[in-house]
Structure 1
Amino acid sequence: MFIPSQNSSPSFKDFTLVLPAVAVGNVGQLAVDLMVSTLNMSRVGYMHTDCLVPMAGNNPYSRCKEDAEELHTSAEVYSAAAQKLAVLQIRAPIIETKTKKFIQLLLSWIKTSGFSRTVVLSSSHAYQRDDQQLRSAPLRYLATPSLLKAAADAFTELGWREMERVPAFPGLPEANAEPRLSIPGGGITKRLFTESCAEDLPLAVLLLFCSEGDNIPDAFTLVNHLNDWLHLLDDPSLKQNTWTTPSSWSLLFGSGVPPALF
């Protein structure tokens, strides 16, 4: 599944892996864009799989004319070795009939690569929140038992709120034997989390309730939430302690209205 850019495969032993879920508003993907652009992460490989809609395009993180025409694909891996950090950026939807296969391939790669922990950046439909979710901040987290052993105190100190389990049939107490985890609009988030629990993998989900539209502010909110935990901007090699938007965001909503129309 993973194809390295160089002749030899990079070592991810004890690295933290961050990846987005293709979910409502593409918030996780936008947050990963900010990480790659700000931390000057290097592309170290890509994912070769038939589970994603194929696509290719120019370099989304171009900084000069010389690197603008580099070919980039639907799923690529970037690394910041000094910070022991890797990200998997997913730029295309998962083919619906191959979701199970993709999750299995992804978890297999995570295990064989030796990542110390995995963080999934995701989102969920804001309009489907229940009453208790409406009364608090729109950020939630989930953590597998394996990750909680090391991170429970950190989450408590940060004051983070765990994603609530909700009734399967609200308003019908007799039909709800047990609350369940529901992440509407979250793509593979729920399934990836439950599979990671079953395989005892250290994985966390950071999630934001949002709506479709201009989701750039949501991306900043989510990546700042992640930074509160991982302190990504504390690296002394960074020239600034703010997030840098990638060049590709200038065309996020198209190239504008052609003047010839007027």
Structure 2
Amino acid sequence: MEFVPEEGKHLHEDCSTLILPALSIGNVGQLVADLLISSMGSERVGYLDDPNVLPCVGNDAYGPFPQGDLALPLEAYDSPSNALTIIQQRSPVVKGMMIEFAKNMADFLAGSGKKHIVVLSSLDFGKWQKVDMSSGLQIYYLSSSNSNGTDENCEQLGWKKLQEYDPSQMHWKYLSDLAEGNVTVEDITSVEDELEEENYYASLPFAALFSFLKAKGLKVTCLLCYCSEGDNISDAFQLGDAVCKLLQLSHPTTGIEGGKWRVPLSWMSVYGPPPDVSIF
């Protein structure tokens, strides 16, 4: 993985925390990255080039007016006032190459001087065993602070550890062994399909990223929420609020005004125009 800086720009050393979305159902992690970039006056400092990410290109994503700046698959944005770097991933990883991508990302972040990586992902609502929406969207977490995935700070914020995380379970253990170099990808190819059926959670991109980043000695916190495919903007607002609580981010006057998020320009066309009311 290669970092290509914008002309005259670089990753700020003071931005010790990094936000990283992991692709999953509803793309909530990417929507949150959009909100943070748009609302915190972040500047694009460069892009990442990795052969395992599918190519894509689009128009200026954030505005407030389209400038014709091209949006690329992996971009890095800095918000020095919040000591925060945000990576936005706009296209999926090539099928079967998630392990290689996670390894490359972990190598890059370990060498970039980042101290805390926050991975954002959504989970399939259909896999939720104990549904409790009495207090709104429930945030789950997974942390490298302890071997069992718990974190005292996250617990104090009222979040629950992802119960399905079990470091001794076969797929989680294989991910850990891969990240630590104890086995190779070829060693698990024969059981890969079986493992994906056995453990949905450990087969998701956030799990590979968590395992490889943890193996590099980085502090990693995964923030997770359940959702379904569809309009996931409300999920993004709530997961974005969770990020602000975790990192104790204040609402910057240049971004979140009156407690409201600044919606990115690209969201204007996410779901197309509203329906014609005359049909009702």
Q: Is the structural similarity TM-score above 0.5?
A: yes
5+ long unaligned stretches in structure 1: 169-179
Change (3 A) 1:255 1:47: farther
RMSD value, Cα: 2.7
Would the aligned equivalents of 2:39 and 2:254 in 1 still touch at CA under 8 Å? Answer: no
1:254 is aligned to 2:272: yes
Change (3 A) 1:256 1:11: same
Change (3 A) 1:187 1:165: closer
1:174 alignment partner in structure 2: none
1:46 is aligned to 2:64: no
Would the aligned equivalents of 1:53 and 1:93 in 2 still touch at CA under 8 Å? Answer: yes
The count of aligned residue pairs is 241
1:242 alignment partner in structure 2: 260
Change (3 A) 1:255 1:53: farther
1:228 alignment partner in structure 2: 245
Q: State the TM-score, normalized to the length of structure 1.
A: 0.82
Q: d(CA) in 1 for partners of 2:25 and 2:143?
A: 21
Would the aligned equivalents of 1:120 and 1:205 in 2 still touch at CA under 8 Å? Answer: yes
Would the aligned equivalents of 1:164 and 1:181 in 2 still touch at CA under 8 Å? Answer: no
Q: d(CA) in 2 for partners of 1:39 and 1:148?
A: 33
2:231 alignment partner in structure 1: 214
Q: d(CA) in 1 for partners of 2:43 and 2:147?
A: 27
1:188 is aligned to 2:185: no
Would the aligned equivalents of 1:147 and 1:204 in 2 still touch at CA under 8 Å? Answer: no
2:34 alignment partner in structure 1: 33
5+ long unaligned stretches in structure 2: 170-197
Q: d(CA) in 2 for partners of 1:257 and 1:50?
A: 40
Q: d(CA) in 1 for partners of 2:211 and 2:92?
A: 20
Q: Alignment identity in percent? A: 28
Residues 72-125 of structure 1 deviation map (CA, whole Å, 9 limit, x = unaligned): 111100001121100000000100132122111100111111111000110110
2:62 alignment partner in structure 1: 61
1:134 alignment partner in structure 2: 131
Compare 34-43 and 8-17 and name the one that shifted more: 8-17
Shift of residue 236, structure 1, vs aligned partner = 5.2
Residues 132-182 of structure 1 deviation map (CA, whole Å, 9 limit, x = unaligned): x32465320000037999x944223212210002798xxxxxxxxxxx975
Q: d(CA) in 2 for partners of 1:247 and 1:11?
A: 26
Amino acid at match of 1:229: L
Q: d(CA) in 1 for partners of 2:19 and 2:247?
A: 11
